[in-house]
Structures are given as C-alpha cells and as structure tokens.
Structure 1
C-alpha cells in the first residue's frame, strides 16, 4: 500500500495547536511539576504510588496546556499589541477562538477523568477548585494588579490534590507547601511580567510588575526570602535531614543569582531570571528525594 502523507495544511494546523498549548516551551510545565513532586514525595514519606506519579505527571502537562489555551483566548485582543505575543496563532487568526475554548474544555475533561478513575473522592472534590482557578486566572489582569497571585493559587492547587491522593487527607504540612509555592510563583511571574511591563502599561494590562514599580526587585527578594523560610519550616516539621536543607540553600543561592540577572530590569535579564526558577524547584526536589532515600521521614 502506498504511504499516506499528512497534507501541508494539516501539518500547519497541528503546529499551530502545539504553539497554542506551548508544547515547544515546557518551562511552565516544569514549574508546575516540581512542587507537585514535592507534595507527592513528602506525603508518601518516600517514593509515591506509581499510579499517583503517573496521574499527576500527566495532569501537570495537561493542565498547563489547558491553561495556555484559555490564556490565549482571554488575551486574543491584547496580545497583538505586545511584542512577545503578537504572532501567537490565536492572535494572528490562524486558530479560531472556539478552537481554543474547545481545547481547554477537552483537555480539562481528560485530566478530570484521570482523577475520577485513578484517585480518591477527596482528590476529585479538590479538582473542581483547580479547574476554576485555571479558568479565571487569565481574566484577572483586567481587574486587579495581582493576577500573579491567582496564577500562584492555580499553579499550587496540585499540591493539596497530590497530597490528598497519596495520603487520603490534606495536612498542615501540605498547606505550608502550598503557601510557599504561591509566594514563589508570584516572585518568578513578576520577573516574567517585567519583560512585558512597557507594553502592558500602554494597553492597560495590570500586573505585580506594574504595581511594585521601582520596588519590584526588593519585593521579589522579600517573597523569595519567605519561600526559603517556609521551606525550612517544612523541613523542620517533616524532620528532614541535611540533604534537603542543602537543596533549599541551593534554591536561595539561585534566587540571589536571579536578582543579579534582573539587576538592570532589561527584558532579556528578567526573562533569564524567570527561566532560572526551573533549577530552583528542581534543587529542592532533588534534595528532598535524596534525603528521604537516606532515611528522612514525615510526621
């Protein structure tokens, strides 16, 4: 039988869908993944159940893709005025608005079905909060200068869900992790917002980068310090050992490096500072995993 080839039009459409879902830029998924893994490993006191690990790994990538689709739908009219986003598929008209909404709904449904069939009722109940946060976040930049706070809640909601799936409850330790991650998200997404600050000011989009003004780097530093302090508190309450603390110290050192990268508030430096947070989250995860392997325990 002769081989059938995908037509150029279909390939172009699939490529645009991939761009809409940011499949070419996994940084957002990784920033979601590390805190989710923190919760899974801590709740399990070591290696989590294989089923939960698969569900939440896939869930992170699915929900991040869904979030990108609804974000571009919400921003379809303003993205054309921002240098970094003016050529996105939805903004340029290569993808229609209904397609973005359909992708969001379809991906959310797939993630929801995984929770239904492979986790417990408490995780299922919590999942509704995650969908609501994923949907409302993109619209918050029109009404408040704190859209990063809503993003922080959306990016952190996997923590109580993962804890519930692994432990059957959500403990105080889980909410400490949640708080740390919300603050961390506000910090690194403010770096991200600093990249677009000039464009956002022109078109009336709100962000913490605009709210903080000249105090942006100082406030980010305070938020980063609070993240480190809460993670140290988590280590103390979970009776973790030195390797975990080494991971947190590495995160703190990377935070200092990020401040250096963004010292002139230039687009490139701020974007590099944002991207560097992937390594900060990984450092904590690696320290946690090794520490638990060496005998750390949670109580």
Structure 2
C-alpha cells in the first residue's frame, strides 16, 4: 500500500478520537490524584454539610426553595455568593489527597492497593504535584473570600492545621482517624456559620456524632491495608483495635447515634427525624457491623462505599423529612392565623 493511500485511510473522525484519547490519558493521573473519581469519598464530605445545612435551615426557617438552591449550589459549586461552602470542602478533600500523596509516596509504594497512585508510580512528579496543590489552595481561598468572619476562620483552620497535618498523624499516632474526623466534618459548623453567623451547641453535638462516624468508616477503610501497613510502618485505628475491632466499632456507632439524638433534641427535631435518621441509621449500622469482614479488603471497600452513599442518604432523608414537616407546619399555622385575623 502506498503512503498516500495509507494516509487517506486515516479519517478525520479517527484523528479526532486519537486526540481526545491522548488528552484523556494525560489528564487521568491528575484526576486520580484528587480522588474525584472515587465518588464515595466525595459524598462522605458532602453529607455532614448537607446534614448541617438542613439542620440550620430548619432552625432558621429558611424557605424550602431557597434551601434546595443552597444545597444544589453547594453540591456543584455553581455560585460562590450562594453557598459554595460544600464545594470548598470538596476542594479541601482534593487538596488533602494531593498533599497526602506527596508526603506518603514512599509509604504508598509499599502498599499493594496504593502503589499505583500517580506520585508513587512516577506518573506525576513531586514538583508538579506541589504546583497542583498550590493551585487548589488558591482556588479555595478565592471561594471563601466573601463569607462572614466566623465562616472564614473555620475555613482557614480546616485548610491548614486540620487537613495539612493529617498525613503526619499516621506517623506519630494510631489515631489518625480521630484527626481526620475533625477536618472531614467541619462542614457541619460551616453551614451554620455561613447562614446564621453563629454555631450553636446542637451543631457541635452533631459534629461529635459525625466525628465518630468518620472513625467508623475510615477504620473499616484502613482494614484493607492492615498487612501492608504493618510492613510500611503506617499507624491506624484498624491496627490499634486488633481483634476487638468490631466491639470498638460498635462503640463508635453508639457515639454517632448519641450525637444524632442529642443534636435532634437540642434543635427541636420531630418524629420523621428520629424515625429515619436515628432509627433507620441505627439499624443500618447494626446490619453493616454484622456483615462486614474486616479481614477482607473487598468487604471493607464495599462497606466504605455504602457509608458514602446509602447511610449518608438515609440519615439526610430524616433531616429533610423533618425540615419539610416543620416548614409545612409553620406555613399552615401562619395561614390559619391570617385567616382567623382576616375573619375578625
């Protein structure tokens, strides 16, 4: 076949596909670096914000349409002036993953599950990852530039000492999950601070519950790497709890539910919340605790994934149902009062 015929056989569509494929392949390591494709982790950051936002909306009597707008914008990061607070925390998650992989690249090479990560495998250089990290930090600071003073302070603390120091915790303590629990769930406080400019006791109680939840699911997640972590010298609650792991997980599940109960009482939540969020969440945790095999990486990953999607959504459903219940009740009371007064 002549060269002219060979070149003619390459159609424009083929060239377009080749170019698209090349671009996608070049972007893939950067996408993997932020873990954005692992959507369960993203949802585990989103749910505490969603719970806190729904709780705040109920207490502050935020109109239902405005609430859903705030929730939607928070999820997609579409509007800074109307709650990109959750998008900020999703960005913290991405930046935290980049920072974690920079510091842990030598650990990651010794762990079967993580040895293929972009920095550990050499697909992305440390220098490139540092530039990428600074770009994330700049975007995050820009996103929260217009929030009130309290929300700004919470954002700064979340970005630097909390997310920044987390990778070091696994080197010095068997409780890195406890530190992670604070940074992962600061969205609860941010939702209150952003909307009301204050953080009530009920928000701290809810955050205590979500903190215990992080220890629950991240301990299960860490069980995937127990053998490799021992060899690499990585510390975690999965190793600390040892043969008593299910007993300790049951304790943290109880702390989580206690936090939900306490927050619900302090915030004046009603039957839908206690039935769905507390009752349904308790049953779900009990079933998951019974079913998970902490010696099976496959079982642990499935349980972690279910926390990010199923459990988070179930608990939010209770928050949402109670908020709508209360909002509709207030609307009916207001309508009845106006009707009576109008009749008089």
TM-score by length of 2: 0.81
Distance change >3 Å, CA 270–CA 136, structure 1 → 2? same
* In 2: Cα distance, 1:191 partner to 1:112 partner: 32
Which is further off, 142-151 or 236-245?
236-245
Q: Per-residue deviation at 1:271?
A: 1.8
SS of the residue 1:83 aligns to: coil
Which of the two has higher C-alpha Rg? 2
Question: Structure 1 residues 76-85 or 108-117, which shifts more?
Answer: 108-117
Partner of 2:84, secondary structure, is: helix
Match of 2:156 among 100, 124, 128: 128
- 1 CA distance for matches of 2:284 and 2:102? 34
Query: What SS is found at the alignment partner of 2:172?
Result: coil
Distance 1:56 1:43 in 2: 14
Aligned to 1:42: 55
Q: TM-score, normalised to structure 1's length?
A: 0.92
Give distance in 1, aligned partners of 2:134 and 2:187: 18
Greater Cα shift, 177-186 or 254-263: 254-263
Find the aligned partners of 2:37 and 2:130 in 1 and give their Cα distance: 20
- Give per-residue Cα distances to partners, 1:209-267, cap 9 Å, x unaligned: 11111111110110001111120111111111111112222111121122123246322
| Poorly superposed stretches of 4+, deviation over 6 Å | none
The answer for the alignment partner of 2:334 in structure 1 is: none
* 1:42-191 map, 5 Å: 42-45=55-58, 46=62, 47=64, 48=67, 50=69, 53=74, 54-117=83-146, 119-132=147-160, 133-191=162-220
Counterpart-to-counterpart distance in 2, 1:246 and 1:233? 14
Residue aligning to 1:250: 280
Give the structure 1 partner of residue 263 of structure 2.
Answer: 234
CA contact (8 A) 2:170 2:236 kept: yes
Residue 212 of structure 2 contacts residue 255 of structure 2 at CA under 8 Å; is this kept in 1? yes
Q: Which residue does the alignment assign to 1:25?
A: 38
Aligned equivalents of 2:294 and 2:173: distance in 1? 26
Task: Find 1:292's aligned residue among 323, 328, 335.
Answer: 323
Judged with a 3 Å threshold, the aligned counterparts in structure 2 of structure 1 residues 19 and 87 are, in CA distance, closer, same or farther, namely same
Residue 223 in 1 paired to residue 234 in 2?
Answer: no
Determine if contact 1:157/1:178 at 8 Å carries over to the other structure: yes
1:182-221 to 2 correspondences below 5 Å: 182-221=211-250
Cα deviation code 1:22-73 (max 9, x no counterpart): 1211111101111111111211215448457441232232221111111111
How many positions carry a matched residue from both structures? 296
Partners in 2 of 1:100 and 1:252 — Cα distance?
41
Q: Is the 8 A contact 1:259 1:273 kept in 2?
A: no
Give the whole-Å Cα distance in 1 for the aligned partners of 2:274 and 2:129.
42
Q: Which moved more, 1:256-265 or 1:271-280?
A: 256-265
Name the structure 1 match of 2:306.
276
Distance 2:253 2:28 in 1: 37
Aligned-CA RMSD value: 2.1
Any conservation in 2 of the 1:245–1:287 contact (CA below 8 Å)?
yes
SS at match of 2:211: helix
1:44–1:167 contact (8 Å) kept in structure 2: no
